[in-house]
Structure 1
Amino acid sequence: MNANTGQVTSQVTDDRLQALGRAVLETEAAAIADLLPRVNGDFVRACHYMLGCEGRIVVLGMGKSGHIAGKLAATLASTGSPAFFVHPGEASHGDLGMITPRDVVLALSNSGETDEIITILPLIKRLGVPLITMTGKPRSTLAQAASVNIHVGVEQEACPLNLAPTSSTTAALAMGDALAVSLLEARGFTREDFARSHPGGKLGRRLLLLIDDIMHKGDGVPRVSPSASVRDALVEVSRKGLGMTTVMDDDQRLVGIFTDGDLRRSLDQGIDLHQTAVADVMTRQCKTITAGSLAAEALQTMEEHKINAVIVLDTQERVVGALNMHDLLRAGVV
């Protein structure tokens, strides 16, 4: 394509486009594979510096390396290693004050000669903070000034001109993820910790939402007495819309549950819906969960036992709520 006119200057077949795309993936996959032996003593030292950080991990990078640095800072912060991105160009104009002696600096530069980072090296050194670098040139100015340098250089870029940062940024991104995940494991970071930093996400909802927040309570809980007829139980099932009704005694304690499945089995037996007591056809051994449990636990119970609803009991084993799979779907837990 001509950059000035926007016109296509050569005919490229569909097969050729597929071949080009696959070549890029193969080149970048090879670049990542080459990183494996570089997860070595330098990698371990970098991890220890970051694990020992009493402040924040300050991540620097310019251009495409800056985009990778920003993503890495976000990944570190969301996985238990407080971090933020600082633009090296802005650092020379006041943002360097964001770095404190309690921090660790992580600088990304493929060439290792990025002017904006080199300019602030003396100030970083004056602060006495550990400097971790990820460069493509182990003998570069930045790598030589580092407390520890992780080599992320690549044989070639995936760009056919060997100019646009492609394989090099992929390699830096992959090594950054390797650091973040290693730190996550070392800190004992859990799924619950992750959810607390992502309360708006689906995982956050799954791991933090309580059944008390979504269950049906009070009059919303379907209920009949053991002496109620099957017909009365069916009316309650239809009225409350949960596909079942609880069967409770006078003390609000669960005796059993009557479901759509119980109704089908009753009809197969030819029972009289008006004369038969629900206690004669209900399911006595039903699954329950305790109030205050996570919604994810209710989901696990339903999936494990292949049921669509679960009854919620308090610590005195009295019925205080009920919920079904639709409630979990609406809450975004499923």
Structure 2
Amino acid sequence: MTLHGRAEALSTLGRLMETEQLVTVTGPGGVGKSALVAEAVRGQRRRNRPDLIHLDLAPVSDPELVPRWLSYGLKQINGGGRRQTLLVVDTCEHVADAAGAALRDLIAERPALRAIATSRIPTAADGATLPLGPLDVDAAVELFRDCAPGYRDDGAAEGLADDDTIREICELLDGLPLAVTIAAAQLQRRSPDELLTRLAGADGALALVGGGPEVPERQRTLRDSMWWSRRVCTPGERLLWARAAVFPGAFTLAHATEVCADERLSGSELVRAFAGLRAQGLFAAAGDKDDELVWMPRAVRAYGRQQLARLGEETEFQRRCVAWSMDVLKTNSVE
């Protein structure tokens, strides 16, 4: 499948792979980190033909086992560390600190080793970091059409809606490649207009199912992807994720503190949680002009609202958000 909308990121990653021993690609779940790395590795192997080892840390739940897991993988290559070797390590986020430390040690021991890691959060590893964000809407539309059943190589669509409908679908999915891919596969069972109607509901994207047994369980639905992200979060981050889901639009740290802080989530803990959720891409920057302003993608907000309901706090924090909104309106009207 073609890698859509990633020409600049692919070029940057290729340059970093030439100059850095370790590169970590970061971004929210489903943003396409592994796909980008796979394409970059194909280009690297065509040019330099290094030995390649690919490891996935998803099955490793104990951080103390990470060094052993990585070392065992490297034993597949002979040559005592002297041969050019490219190590790809996927899914580092749940053992990020241990993975970063282990990769640092391996690189120090093996001058001929280069490593690329993917993680939903930054690791403690040295080297370069490449943050990856969602696709712009044009690239998302191209990806949707590429994945949609019935779209022929000559560019003709069999039963597909026009670009406006597909564009609306991709905008509702915030350009997240995993979500776009899952949504496109739904055209086997429903029309584009039916899909758009379903996605218009707050929880619509979370309910879509896609991917076969070859797809990692954490990527078969957006709900699975959100569950994996929540697993990585600290207790404070989980609580703030749920409570901040009451914001209908963009907000700042000060807004989140006013609405979401209480005895369970102190101001200092909220500051740390806010930074952590931003680092994971669960709170996304709302624009270049105001770096303090963040927003929650629709699927992230929908999952947060579900968690807030399970906590039994939905009514209270909706009330707080409404009260805060009224205060803002009064202040703005006075000014």
TM-score, scaled relative to structure 1: 0.26
Structure number with greater CO (CA < 8 Å, separation at least 6) is: 2
**Where is the helix percentage greater, Structure 1 or Structure 2?**
2
Higher CA-based Rg: 1
TM-score, scaled relative to structure 2: 0.25
**Where is the strand percentage greater, Structure 1 or Structure 2?**
1
